[in-house]
């Protein structure tokens, strides 16, 4: 199931709850917890991702904190490759490298262990997260992966908020794939 049918896309979309005015007024938050607790929708998604990526000859899947951990660790296990967490600054216990990115009001930073990809030059890495909005976090994560001498071969998102055009930022540095474009 490398491609989803319109019916399968609808199943996934309908399993995601919209929460109005969260985290602030005017925002419609895409709540994936309702997809996670729907075993058939979650299985559909993960089977699709496994079929799509099993021929990519990946060495690792990297997930962005925190929802990217859920999809990334599951997918890495299904593909028989390692999982690497990309975390907010100060959360990893060993030597890290960091990348800053812009927020609406200010700057934030994410980190990865310096030996996250076991020092294997050219490791093929898939980056995954639940959602891409403005693209700053994902762009920083791709840059981090590439700084370790690994290669981010694609960035995958369950949901692309296409009206915010964050994918364009990431497409300039790696391939991208979005399961659902909203």
Bridge partners of 154, per DSSP, are 126
Asked about 171 being catalytic, the answer comes back as no
Shortest CA distance to 110 belongs to which of 118, 119, 102?
102
Active-site entry in 54, 65, 67, 165: 67
Write out the DSSP string of 131-151.
Answer: EESSSHHHHHHHHHHHHTT-E
Asked about 87 being catalytic, the answer comes back as no
Active-site entry in 7, 55, 104, 121: 104
CB hemisphere CA count around 3 (13 angstroms): 2
Q: How many CB atoms lie within 10 A of CB 148?
A: 23
Active site residues: 67, 104
């Amino acid at each position: 199931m490398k491609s989803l049918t319109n019916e399968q896309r609808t199943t996934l979309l309908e399993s995601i709850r919209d929460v109005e005015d969260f985290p602030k007024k005017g925002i419609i938050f895409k709540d994936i917890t309702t997809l996670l607790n729907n075993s058939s929708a979650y299985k559909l998604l993960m089977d699709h991702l496994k079929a799509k990526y099993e021929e990519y000859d990946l060495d690792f899947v990297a997930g962005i904190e925190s929802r990217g951990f859920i999809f990334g660790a599951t997918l890495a296990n299904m593909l028989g490759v390692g999982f690497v967490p990309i975390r907010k600054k100060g959360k990893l216990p060993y030597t890290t490298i960091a990348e800053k990115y812009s927020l609406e009001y200010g700057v934030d930073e994410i980190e990865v262990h310096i030996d996250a990809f076991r020092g294997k030059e050219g490791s093929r890495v898939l980056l995954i997260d639940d959602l891409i909005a403005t693209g700053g976090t994902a762009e920083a994560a791709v840059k981090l992966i590439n700084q370790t001498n690994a290669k981010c071969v694609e960035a995958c998102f369950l949901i692309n908020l296409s009206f915010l055009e964050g994918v364009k930022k990431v497409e300039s540095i790696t391939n991208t794939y979005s399961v659902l474009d909203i």
